Amino acid sequence: MTDREIAILISGGRMEEAFNELVKSYSERLYWHVRRFLCSHEDTDDLLQEIFMKVWTALPSFRGESQLFTWIYRIATNEALNHLQKMKVRQALRFSSIDSMMEDRIKDDPWFNGDEAQRALSKAIQKLPARQKAVFLMRYYEEIPYEDISKIMGISTGALKASYHLAREKVQGYLLKEIGGED
């Protein structure tokens, strides 16, 4: 079912049906979206359930003024960033840093099946500031257009382009330092 059809279900008050269609369309996609932020299958699984609970709660307030895709991505991205912020605070209270925690997660991830370059790329991304990380993940991996990322994150396209450029530079710098570049 397309987003437009789901939006029609919502506007017609058929919430449960619309929600089930959203789950079918977006659960896997959002899983990978959140997984790249959190670097943990278990945390992603937990957070995804919270995200869909929020989607269910907020569904009656969806007016169709924005695209369903950007609306649901906005919820998921905000939740992922909030979760990262909470993790950062918890780590600070344990006198540790989120960077080292993320490095451990990437290193010990039993569900990782990439090579060392991809592992280094994951580490580099986790070192980015929250906004740059979100922009980089959406643009680089999901190839979401800037206009849509702008609606998801609520910031201008120009700022997004700058963020993506900076993020890319930082990631490349890290990779050059860690593994050397490839032509």
Partner 1 sequence: METLRHDDRHNFHEVPEGYFEDLRVRLSSIPQGSGHAVRERSGRLDLTPYLALAACFAILFVVGTAILRSTGSRMESAGSWDADEEVYADLASADQPYMMWQEYDTTEEDVMDEEDIIDYLIESGVSAEVLEMMENQMLK
CB of 82 vs partner 1, minimal distance in Å: 13
Distance CA 130, CA 110 (A): 25
Q: Which residues from 65-124 bind partner 1, rule CB under 8 A?
A: 89-90, 93-94, 109, 111-115, 117-118, 121
Stretch near partner 1 under the rule CB under 8 A, chosen from 2-10, 14-22, 68-76, 147-155: 14-22
The CB-based long-range contact list for 43-47 (8 Å cut-off, 24+ gap) reads: 43/83, 47/79, 47/80, 47/83
Q: Which residue has the tokens 């089930």?
A: 20
Question: Considering the rule CB under 8 A, would residue 48 count as an interface residue with partner 1?
Answer: yes
| Binding of partner 1 by 23 (CB under 8 A) | yes
Q: From residue 99, give the alpha-carbon distance in Å to each of 11, 37, 139, 180.
A: 43, 12, 22, 21
Residue 139, CA atoms < 13 Å, CB-side half-sphere: 22
Each residue 143-182 as x (binds partner 1 by CB under 8 A) or -, in order, gives x------------------------x--xx--xx--x-xx
- The Cα-based distances of 106 to 129, 148, 153, 160 in angstroms read 17, 29, 26, 26
Where on the chain is the footprint of partner 1 (CB under 8 A)?
15-16, 19-20, 23-24, 27-28, 31-32, 35, 41, 45-50, 52-53, 56, 89-90, 93-94, 109, 111-115, 117-118, 121, 140-141, 143, 168, 171-172, 175-176, 179, 181-183
